[in-house]
């Protein structure tokens, strides 16, 4: 299990220090949630913030675009230092065009599905993807309760990839902590996004280790 702490739950007054803290504690990636106030009812960070914090770590930046028109912003986030860009299948941009744009910038593309979107929606694109992100909460706000009924989608996507001989990672995001990571791992999750579970933990290193070693 790889662990991607979500900066949505960090102390934004000292975001650089927070990135250094989880890097030293053993994080595998840094998850950055980008929200536009339209696709989801919240506003967070944009390319300028990502660019300014890029210098604090060499870990891959896993940028999750919760925006209506992701295709219009791929260049901006690529220039800011993204390594992986995931965008929602429910967004308004053409899916194949957006995947191709991400690849054209030398980045790794991923598709995200909301809780009400079936696993099968991503099947036509699996051979073009590095990752599928299955939301285990409704996107928009941190600190929500984990939706265990989303895990069969993880298993279904992993099985479809295996059937087709594809090596696509499945990431889960929302409510993942030491209490929920076991069932996520059992379902086949490769990367756990954890905000509150890491940044609010008493011992950051122990929290990341528990997530990574989940069986």
Gyration radius of the chain's alpha carbons: 16
| Close Cβ partners of 127 (under 8 Å, ≥ 6 residues apart) | 164, 166
Residues assigned a catalytic role: 33, 173
Please name which of 185, 197, 198, 193 lies closest in space to residue 158, comparing C-alpha atoms. Answer: 185
The DSSP H or E segment spanning 3 is strand 2-5
* End-to-end Cα distance, the chain: 9
Q: Please, what sign has the CA dihedral across residues 64, 67, 70, 73? A: negative
- 207 token code pair: 């929290």
- Strands of the sheet containing 169-173, edge to edge, are 2-5, 191-194, 169-173, 131-135, 108-113, 84-88, 61-66, 30-35
């Amino acid at each position: 299990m790889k662990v991607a702490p979500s900066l949505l739950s960090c102390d934004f007054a000292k975001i650089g220090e927070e990135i250094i803290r989880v890097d030293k504690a053993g994080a595998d990636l840094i998850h950055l949630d980008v929200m536009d106030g339209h696709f989801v009812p919240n506003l967070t960070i944009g390319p300028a913030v990502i660019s300014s914090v890029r210098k604090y770590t060499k870990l891959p930046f896993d940028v999750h675009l919760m925006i209506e028109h992701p295709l219009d912003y791929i260049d901006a986030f690529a220039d800011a230092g993204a390594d992986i860009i995931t965008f929602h299948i429910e967004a308004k941009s053409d899916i194949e065009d957006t995947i191709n744009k991400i690849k054209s910038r030398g980045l790794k593309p991923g598709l995200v599905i909301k809780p009400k979107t079936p696993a099968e929606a991503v099947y036509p694109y699996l051979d073009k993807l590095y990752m599928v992100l299955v939301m285990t909460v409704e996107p928009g706000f941190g600190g929500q309760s984990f939706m265990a009924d989303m895990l069969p989608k993880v298993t279904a996507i992993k099985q479809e990839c295996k059937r087709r001989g594809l090596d696509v990672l499945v990431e889960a995001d929302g409510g993942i902590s030491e209490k929920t990571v076991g069932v996520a791992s059992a379902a086949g999750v490769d990367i756990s996004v954890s905000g509150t579970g890491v940044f609010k933990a008493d011992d950051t290193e122990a929290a990341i280790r528990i997530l990574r070693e989940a069986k």
